[in-house]
Chain A
Amino acid sequence: MLDYEAMSGASMQSDTQQIALGLRQGDVVVLESLVERYQYRLVRYLIYLLGRRDGVDDLVQETWLRVLERGSSYDGQARFEPWLFRVARNIAVDAMRRRRTLGLESNDDDGIRQAPASDEASPFTSAAQTEDADRLARALETLDPGYREALVLRFQEDLSLQEISAIVGAPVSTVASRIYKGLATLRHQFEEKQHEH
């Protein structure tokens, strides 16, 4: 796996150029390496975005097919991750709209909203590996998806505000505000949980 932080700017540029070339040519080897490299991160991003595990695999599959189909639109000038997450987000938003049209979810003007209450166990509770993560799980479940998305992109994917802004299609100031509010909510609930213990 490539570590972007350890790579120089030039070699990162060369890596992204190779990805762009591979996508333009529909190169299976390049696609395979991208799937290997980004699959877990894609799954994690979609879980944070949707707040559920159910249906994420289908969206992942659809995302990669869209990457193959629209790969020529990635020019290799910037990092691949923001472009990939943008594709995944569009797929997820379309899927949510389809579900709403079918009456499976409540109406809202934004593409991504709260996941419906379901019998499915929280993906965060079942994925928590540490005591702190366990404390955060419940708070994440009820957190606004827009905040959750901004938090995962900033603190798990280490993307800049500009990159997140390009993914979510919102101004940088809005993204920053979502991060502050998300952090404030989690901090508050985290402290409450600590006092309970």
Chain B
Amino acid sequence: MNINQHESFQHMIDESLAGAISPEREQSLREHLNTCAPCQVYLSATNRVVAGLGGFSFEVDSMLNARVLASLKRNVQPAQAPQPSRQWALIIIAAGALTMGGSFVDLQFGSLIASVFDLQRTQLRQELLAFWIVPSLCVLLLFPLLPLLSKAGIHREDREERTV
């Protein structure tokens, strides 16, 4: 067997270790290794290098885990805590949509609904206003004030605590 053929099989050894060899080539490599001393030496040297890579043990600062976990906890809490301003914004958007929805139903389908339920058009409008549009409008107008009232309350409590 010439040098080129050995080189070819030795490259196959590297391919096999890298996980880049087909099953057929792997089989042919195994058969070759059974009878070829130079390639066995090559395989043994390469395996020794690979095993040598596992012979390192890096020191990890014992406080590193604690530092990482503390920093993760600091950063995870704001994400998990409810965000009042976001909740209020969602409620305001929902109230706005309900108000507009009520007005839309009244304008577009008022006559149709009145005829289906055998109601006067004005009676239906009053009921829509009383039970749908006005409550939604109240929520829409009142909720923007709640964060401000809540903040004012917190500031007052803070002031009181400081005074005590």
> Binding site of A, secondary structure by majority: helix, strand, loop or mixed?
helix
Contacts A26-B76, A132-B51, A186-B49 given; indicate if A176 touches B15 (C-beta within 8 A): yes
Chain B binding surface SS class: helix
Q: Which residues of B contact A57 (CB under 8 A)?
A: 61, 64, 67
Query: Which residue of the partner chain A has the closest CB to B17?
Result: A183
A138 at the interface (CB under 8 A from B): no
Closest to A185 in B: B49
A151 on the interface (CB 8 Å rule)? Answer: yes
Q: Is B109 an interface residue (CB 8 A)?
A: no
Q: A68 contacts which chain B residues (CB < 8 A)?
A: 72, 75-76
Within 119-178 of A, Cβ neighbours of B (below 8 Å) are at 123-124, 126-130, 132-137, 151-152, 154-156, 160-161, 172, 176
Indicate if the CB atoms of B72 and A60 lie closer than 8 Å: no
- Check: A4 CB closer than 8 A to any chain B CB: no
Decide yes or no: A156 and B14 within 8 Å by CB, A28-B73, A64-B71, A190-B45 being known contacts.
no
Shortest C-beta distance, B56 to chain A (Å), equals: 4
Cα distance, A80 to B49, chains bound together (Å): 27
Q: How far is the CA of A134 from the CA of B56 in the complex (A)?
A: 9
Nearest residue, chain B, Cβ from A134: B55
Check A133/B52 contact, CB under 8 A, given A65-B71, A180-B11, A180-B18: yes
Contact A40 B11 (CB under 8 A): no
Cβ distance B29 to chain A, nearest Cβ, rounded Å? 15
Which residues from chain B sit less than 8 Å from chain A, CB to CB?
A: 11, 14-15, 17-20, 45-46, 48-61, 64-65, 67-69, 71-73, 75-76, 79-80
